[in-house]
Structure 1
Amino acid sequence: MIEIERKFLVHSDAFKTEAFKQTRICQGYLNSHKDRAVRIRIKGDLGFITVKGSSSASGLSRFEWEKEISKEEALALLKLCEESVIDKIRYEVAVGEHVYEVDEFFGNNEGLIVAEIELKTETEAYIKPNWLAQEVTGDVKYYNSQLSKTPFKLWKL
């Protein structure tokens, strides 16, 4: 139930030609506090409820619990969520022994592309493809729960 991941910005769309899968995701937050977030997600035809805890000091790991629910239940719960809903396409890209999940955001977060890789340990080796840019692991403003509160279009770049 502990998730270990690294997060990176993406500087090109080269990953799209390498992706073996893409899925539309719509998600909202019943609670988007930085120490505990409760997310409702529709991923394709599936619904999910997820609880995430606060990040470790390194930002690499945090508690995560997820349960599949029906799409109908997820649609009903999305109506109870905080104001801004996240809309994105997730591309899955195999690189070496790992799969990067690359999220291309739309709506209020259009223009932002973020890649995540899940690891078994905080020190596990992995390959960095050339489309990765700056690492933003542990930077709270890139958490989806925070993007729902302060979307990318409002950032002063």
Structure 2
Amino acid sequence: MKRRRTMETVELTNMCMIENQKGQVVVQLRKKKDWPGLTFPGGHVLPDESFHDAVVREVYEETGLTISCPKLCGIKQFKTSAGVRYMVLFYRTNSFVGELTESIEGPVFWLEPNRIQEYQVAPDFLEMYQVFCSETLSEFFYQKKGDGWNIQLY
């Protein structure tokens, strides 16, 4: 049987959970109207940019921290209304230098993880957070079910 070759357009992004020695994580209160609320810093991968360099750049732009040793710990993916596969590479690190600095994306601050639910979180952030923290989960996937979407964690 001959395989049919398929190609699709993919939009690549990243997000990083940064943890300090006290066990706190850097969070950002995003101001964007299309995805507001508490989340981790991150953003788009530029053309010809490595995934590693993209997450280091995005974290610096949004927090003022220069991270090192980001470890890929999961992925989120879904299809946009335009049919583009949108992928978010999840990273974790506890290696960084610098001082937290607010960006146009919103304020950033250290927070104890058990306090995350005290804030308005970005849509689906709590499900993503499960992947960031899990030793067994590695994928967050929106699956089309009838007229709606189901979140699948693998």
TM-score by length of 2: 0.29
Larger strand percent: 1
Larger-gyration structure (1/2): 2
Q: Which has the higher contact order (CA 8 A, sep 6+)?
A: 1
